[in-house]
Structure 1
Amino acid sequence: MQEFLVELTTTVPEGTDPAEVDRRRAAEAVRAAELAATGHLVRLWRPVGELRSIGLWRADDEADLRENVLGTLPLAPWMTPVVTAVQSHPNDPGRNAAAG
Structure 2
Amino acid sequence: MITCVVRYTIDPAKIDAFERFAAAWMELVDRHGGTHHGYFLPGEGASDEALALFSFPSLAEYEIYRQGFDVDPEFVAADRIRDESGCVLRHERTFMRPLLPT
Report the TM-score, using the length of structure 2 for normalisation: 0.51
CA contact (8 A) 2:39 2:53 kept: yes
Q: Which has the larger radius of gyration?
A: 1
CA contact (8 A) 2:21 2:78 kept: no
CA shift digits 1:6-26 (9 cap, x unpaired)? 1011248xxxxx9xx688456
1:1-100 equivalent positions in 2, closer than 5 A: 2-11=2-11, 24-25=17-18, 27-28=20-21, 30-35=23-28, 37-38=30-31, 39-47=34-42, 48-49=44-45, 50-58=47-55, 60-61=62-63, 64=66, 67=69, 72-73=78-79, 74-76=81-83, 78=86, 79=88, 80-88=90-98, 92=99, 94-96=100-102
Structure 1 unaligned regions, length at least 5:
13-17
User: Partners in 2 of 1:54 and 1:23 — Cα distance?
Assistant: 15
- Deviation (angstroms), 1:75: 1.4
Aligned length: 83
Judged with a 3 Å threshold, the aligned counterparts in structure 2 of structure 1 residues 40 and 9 are, in CA distance, closer, same or farther, namely: farther
Structure 2 unaligned regions, length at least 5:
57-61
Q: State the 4+ residue runs in structure 1 displaced beyond 6 angstroms.
A: none
Instruction: Report the AA paired with residue 34 of structure 1.
Output: E
Q: Counterpart of 1:75 in 2: which secondary structure? A: helix
Judged with a 3 Å threshold, the aligned counterparts in structure 2 of structure 1 residues 95 and 6 are, in CA distance, closer, same or farther, namely: same
